[in-house]
Amino acid sequence: MKEGRPRSFYVLAIFFAAYVLFLYGPMIAIYVLSFQGPQGGLTFPMNGVSTYWLTKLFQGTGIIDLGASFRRSLLLGVIVMAVTVVLSVAAGMAFRRKFRAQSILFYSAIASLIVPSIITSLGISLEFRIIDDLIKTHWNENFETSMGLLTSGLGAHLTWTLPFGLLIMFAIFNRFDPRLEEAARDLGATPWQAFRYVVLPIILPSVIGIGLFGFTLSWDELARSSQAIGAVNTLPLDLQGLTTTVTNPDIYALGTIISAVSFAVITLALGTIHMLNKRQAAKGSDAGKGLV
């Protein structure tokens, strides 16, 4: 190949830069606009700079109880994260050897990822409606509903986060050297010890990645929540509701806060992953330390 950078490099570099600008430009616009002055509107130019709209959110705008949906989204996100991590790691371990129903699980996960969200969401809501009807006719006439944040809502979010978790586990174990585990077994470790002291420390950075995916996917999830969450709203649902009614920058302020939480979680997770990788590099080898 020719020396130096070919012309196509510069063309594509400009193309890439334009894509990144396209990606970030509008988002930066609303972060900036959420600092409008009290008289400011939905568009540029800025009418003064203040944190008026951000603080107004926390005082309550009267239309919706943002504090409550904030807490609901947070609670759901954390539970989805925990369940996603545990189930994905377990299933990932199972996929390292052949077992019956392996391909059923695999295709369920892929299908769950690509069947349009509205269909999954509708299905879950129908399922719970039918369950409700059964309870009402057979057990308790006054029963309200079994739909809710931590029943149908949690299930709906898991159908979205688990496939991602499983695919990440596949990627991890593609690179994993099974001899490390073999060595542990040969040294007399039980399967649990081999997992706890050998496998888990090695895969931990990626497992944190799964947690990160689980939380942020749930935190921002809208399509699957729309029919399946029951009577309450999550933060993205409130935000979507605002898009049709509100003409003030408080919608941008809300957007900025939701993004801020996402970014904080991403930064925290990436920081932890980086720290773990450094630790692994520094302490991973026991060469020259003798037998334990």
Partner 1 sequence: MDTSDNILQQASPDLVRGSDTARPARAARLSPSFVSWLQAGPMMLVFLAFFLIPLVFVVIVSFWDYNEYQLLPAFSGRGYTDTFEGCIAQLPDLCTIAKTYLKTLKLCFLVWAITLFIGFWVAYFLAFHVKSKTWQMGLSLLCTIPFWTSNVIRMIAWIPLLGRNGLVNSGLMKTGLINQPVEWLLFSEFSVVLALVHLFTFFMVVPIFNSMIRIDKSLIEAAYDAGATGLQTLVNVVVPLAKPGIVIGSIFVITIVMGDFITIGVMGGQQIAAAGKIIETRVNALQFPAAAANAVILLVITFLIITMMSRIVDIKKEL
Does the footprint of partner 1 cover residue 96 (CB under 8 A)? yes
Question: What SS3 state is found at 36?
Answer: strand
Structure tokens at 231: 């009577």
* C-alpha atoms less than 13 angstroms from C-alpha of 84 in its C-beta half-sphere: 36
Decide if 262 contacts 274 (C-beta within 8 A). no
Binding mask 176-215 for partner 1 (x = CB under 8 A): --xx-xx--x--x-xx------------------------
Binding of partner 1 by 44 (CB under 8 A): yes
C-alpha to C-alpha distances, 103 to 94, 100, 130, nearest whole angstrom: 12, 8, 29
CB-CB neighbours of 66 under 10 Å? 21
Only segment of 24-32, 48-56, 74-82, 278-286 that touches partner 1 (CB under 8 A): 24-32
d(CA 248, CA 38): 10
Pair 30, 227: CB distance under 8 Å = no
3-state SS class at 49: strand
**175 touching partner 1, by CB under 8 A:** no
Q: Does 39 bind partner 1 (CB under 8 A)?
A: no
**Closer CB to partner 1, residue 46 or residue 287?**
46
Question: Could you tell me the smallest distance in angstroms from the CB atom of residue 289 to partner 1?
Answer: 26
Site for partner 1 contains 59 (CB under 8 A)? no
Among the listed ranges 11-19, 59-67, 139-147, 280-288, the one in contact with partner 1 (CB under 8 A) is 11-19
Contacts of 43 (CB under 8 A, 6+ apart): 33
Count of residues in contact with partner 1, rule CB under 8 A: 99
Give CA–CA dist 46/8, Å, rounded.
40
146 binding partner 1? (CB under 8 A) = no
Q: Compute the least distance from the CB of residue 290 to partner 1, in Å.
A: 26
Nearest approach, Cβ of 43 to partner 1 (angstroms)? 5
The only residue of 50, 56, 68, 106 in contact with partner 1, by rule CB under 8 A = 106
User: Would you count residue 233 as binding partner 1 (CB under 8 A)?
Assistant: no
Burial (CB < 10 A; 0-12, 13-18, 19+), residue 122, is middle
Tell whether the torsion through CA atoms of 17, 23, 25 and 31 is positive or negative: negative
Q: Pick from 62, 114, 245, 289: which binds partner 1 (CB under 8 A)?
A: 114
Supply the DSSP string of 113-144, one letter for each residue. HHS-HHHHHHHHHHHHHHHHHHHHHHT-TT--
Query: Which listed residue (61, 69, 159, 218) binds partner 1 by CB under 8 A?
Result: 159
CB of 196 to partner 1, least distance (A): 15
By CB under 8 A, the residues from 71 to 90 that bind partner 1 are: 86-88, 90
Q: Which of 64, 80, 162, 229 binds partner 1 (CB under 8 A)?
A: 162
120 lies in the binding site for partner 1 (CB under 8 A):
yes
User: What residues contact 159, with CB distance under 8 A and at least 6 apart?
Assistant: 112, 120, 224
Which residue, 142 or 243, has its beta carbon nearer to partner 1?
243
CB of 107 to partner 1, least distance (A): 8
Query: Least Å distance between CB 65 and partner 1?
Result: 18
